[in-house]
Structures are given as C-alpha cells and as structure tokens.
C-alpha cells in the first residue's frame, strides 16, 4: 500500500504494478516517493542525458560541417532527445500519473461482483506480463551492449588475433566532442555513453509500461461494461412484466453505461494529459528513424565497420518497438470499445420490454461515434496508425537516399 500527502492510498498488489513501481523508482519517477534523494536522482539522470546530447552537438564546433556529419550527429542526438522528452514531460506531469493510479484504485474498490473483480484482475495480469516481457528483452540485450567496445579483446584472447587498443574507439558509434584526449579518457567517455543509453532505455521502459497498465485496465473496464449488458439481459426475460425484474435490468444497463463512459474518460485522460509529449516523440522519432535507416543502408551498401551499425540498429529497433507496442495497445482499446456494442447487438433485446429496448437503442446510438486514442488531432493510435508512421519514415528515408546518392 502507498499513501500520499492527501491521504490517498493505492494497493500495489491489487493493481499488479509491483514491477512498474520498481522501474519508476529506478529512474526517480515513482509518484509516491519524491524525497530529497529522489530529487538528486532526477537531477543526476537529467544531467547525464542532457550532457551527452550537448557533447554530440559540440562536434560541429571542431569538425567541418558536412552532410554526413549532420546526418550522423542528428541521427544519434535525436534518439537521445526522444528519451529526454519522455523523461521531462512525465516528471512535469507526475501528479497526473498519480491521479490516474488513484482513479484505477477507486474503480477497483467500487467493484463488488466477483466476476467483475476477476475481469479487472485478469487485465492487470496482462499488463504485468507485458512489463515482464519487455524487461526480459532489455536484460538479455544489456550485456552485449555494455561489452560491445571490448569485443576486440575477446577475439584477441579466444582466437589469438592481434587487435590493438586503437580499435577501442567510440567514434564509429557516436560523433562526440569532449574537448579532451578521447583515447586517454576512453573509459570515462564510454561510461558516460553507456549511462546515457541505459537511462534512456529504462526511462522508455518504465514510462511505457505504466501507460500499458493504464490502457490494459481501461480494456478491463470496457469488458466489465460488456459483462453488465449481458448480465442485465440474463434476467428471466420471460417475466419481463415483473416490476422487480424490469428494475434490475434498468439498474444493470445504467451501471453498464456508467462503466463504459468511465472507461472512455479514463483512456482518453491517460493520453490527452500527455499529448504534447506524444506529439514531440512522434515528430522526433520519425526524423530520427529516417536518418538511422539511412545510416544502416549506407553501412550495408558500402561495407562500413560493424561498429557503425550498432547505434542505428538500437535506435531503429527501439523506435519500432515503441510504435508497434503502443499502437497495438491502442488497437486493443478500440476493439474492446467495439465489443461493448457487439454485446448490445447480440443480446435478445427483442424479448425485453419496450422501455428496456429504448435503453438498448440509446446505447447502440453511441456506437455511431468512433472512439479511439487521438493524439492532439494529429495521429490516431491503431495498427493502421503504426503502418502510417512506418510508411512516413520510409518516405523520408527515400527522399534522403535520392538526394544523397
């Protein structure tokens, strides 16, 4: 249990967010723990990300500004700027994140039907599985990324190949300028680069998975609305003239409509409060993704060293993961909303009383209005939206390729 200054309490186990709490604590963004140490943690992690971005742009001060330099710097720097955007905006809106968790807890506390509790728990477990799966992907990828600059040493030991220390260079991975001897301070620069990468990756992981929690619980709320409609019509409709039965049907249908409205309101709030963050991430991500696709194509076409492929591959795979996971969850929201109306269509409404039929008709009229995850009117989250983003990235890549080749 967690209690904030206003006396609001959430149950970590009920909402199945123990893993999300640990991830947010790791990057100093857990809404219920903002001590002096956490504030120091926030400043430190923000400084690591910001300074690494700055030291990439300082390369323009000491190197000739060529199209290749611009592409190499921007493809990497924009990738880290995407991390910084997500970190900064989530921290600015941390009270909103806390409020959303409290809304989930209130909804959970108001459920009394054991089947409804089972439904919301099931979707909480789905969110936990998403979180665990994404954590495992990052954990299994981490050792390879940390040890990557040292692979020449391993080849030297295992295959008795002479590999000089000069091969241990970050220039092929990052274009940076620290105004020091980069060979002498290689390990410190490597530490800075790795720290910035892992702060960014864990930021995306922590914030992304808590939004998965929000939207999975919204899916659970839509499913509860469907269940309430089905339950309402499960009343013995052969006794539709019975006043008690009619009142029970009215009550369940009203509760179904209330839950449906609450699900739409909650799902929309979880996105609309962060619409600036999402809009900037889409803009930066499309440009960064296009530039990194171009770098990958260049490396494969002209036989560049494998080191030059590493960061573009990380950037592209990270952005594609964000696109497809985020839009898949948004598609689930749309599908669960549609399921509510499918449930209303499929019930034996014709066997109910006239007044009940009118209530069902009122509910069905809502299905003429499409509900989706809309980001500032610029983008609609769905599998079709994911395809549109990918198509946009490839279009910019094609333009860049045609002008540079």
Instruction: Tell me the per-residue pLDDT of 314-330, one tens digit each, with 9 for 90 and over.
Output: 889 899 999 999 999 99
Tens digits of residue pLDDT in 51-81:
999 999 999 998 888 888 888 899 999 999 9
Residue 166 pLDDT > 90, yes or no?
Answer: no
Task: Determine the distance from the C-alpha atom of residue 309 to the mean position of all C-alpha atoms in its chain, rounded to a whole number.
Answer: 25
Residue 116 pLDDT > 70, yes or no?
Answer: yes
Confidence of residue 242 (pLDDT cuts 50, 70, 90): low
Q: Which pTM was predicted?
A: 0.89
Mean pLDDT of the chain: 83
Cα separation of 231 and 292, whole Å? Answer: 52
Residue 267 φ/ψ region, left for φ over 0, alpha for ψ in the -120 to 50 degree band, beta for the rest: alpha
Instruction: Supply 265's token pair.
Output: 């309101």
Q: Are 57 and 77 in contact (CB under 8 A)?
A: yes
Give me the count of residues in the chain: 405
Instruction: Give whole-number Cα distances, 52 to 49, 158, 236, in Å.
Output: 5, 34, 67
The number of helix segments (H) and strand segments (E) in the chain equals 14, 4
């Amino acid at each position: 249990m967690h209690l904030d200054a206003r006396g609001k309490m959430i149950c970590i186990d009920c909402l199945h967010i123990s893993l999300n709490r640990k991830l947010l604590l790791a990057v100093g963004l857990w809404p219920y723990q903002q001590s002096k140490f956490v504030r120091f943690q926030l400043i430190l992690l923000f400084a690591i990300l910001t300074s690494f971005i700055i030291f990439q742009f300082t390369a323009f001060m000491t190197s000739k500004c060529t199209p290749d330099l611009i592409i190499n710097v921007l493809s990497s720097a924009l990738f880290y700027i995407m991390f910084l955007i997500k970190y900064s905006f989530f921290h600015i809106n941390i009270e909103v994140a806390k409020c959303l968790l409290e809304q989930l807890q209130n909804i959970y506390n108001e459920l009394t039907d054991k089947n409804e509790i089972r439904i919301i728990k099931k979707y909480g477990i789905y969110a936990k599985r998403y979180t665990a799966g994404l954590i495992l992907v990052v954990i299994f990828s981490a050792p390879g990324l940390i040890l990557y600059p040292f692979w020449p040493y391993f080849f030297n030991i295992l295959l008795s190949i002479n590999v000089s220390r000069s091969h241990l260079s970050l220039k092929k991975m990052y274009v940076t300028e620290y105004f020091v001897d980069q060979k002498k301070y290689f390990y410190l620069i490597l530490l800075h680069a790795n720290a910035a990468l892992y702060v960014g990756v864990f930021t995306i992981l922590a914030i992304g998975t808590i939004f998965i929690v929000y939207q999975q619980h919204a899916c659970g709320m839509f499913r509860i609305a469907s269940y309430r409609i089905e339950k309402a019509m499960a009343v013995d409709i052969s006794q539709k003239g019975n006043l008690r039965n009619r009142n029970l049907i009215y009550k369940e249908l009203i509760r179904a409509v209330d839950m449906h409205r609450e699900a739409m309101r909650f799902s929309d709030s979880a996105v609309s409060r962060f619409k600036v963050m999402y809009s900037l991430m889409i803009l930066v991500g499309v440009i960064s993704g296009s530039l990194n696709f171009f770098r990958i194509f260049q490396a494969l076409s002209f036989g560049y060293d494998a080191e030059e492929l590493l960061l573009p591959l990380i950037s592209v795979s990270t952005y594609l993961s964000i696109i497809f996971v985020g839009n898949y969850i948004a598609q689930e929201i749309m599908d669960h909303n549609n399921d509510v109306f499918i449930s209303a269509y499929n019930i034996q409404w014709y066997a109910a009383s006239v007044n009940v039929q009118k209530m069902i008709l009122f509910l069905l009229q809502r299905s003429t209005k499409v509900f989706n995850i809309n980001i500032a009117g610029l983008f609609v989250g769905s599998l079709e939206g994911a395809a549109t983003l990918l198509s946009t990235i490839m279009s910019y890549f094609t333009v860049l390729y045609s002008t540079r080749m």
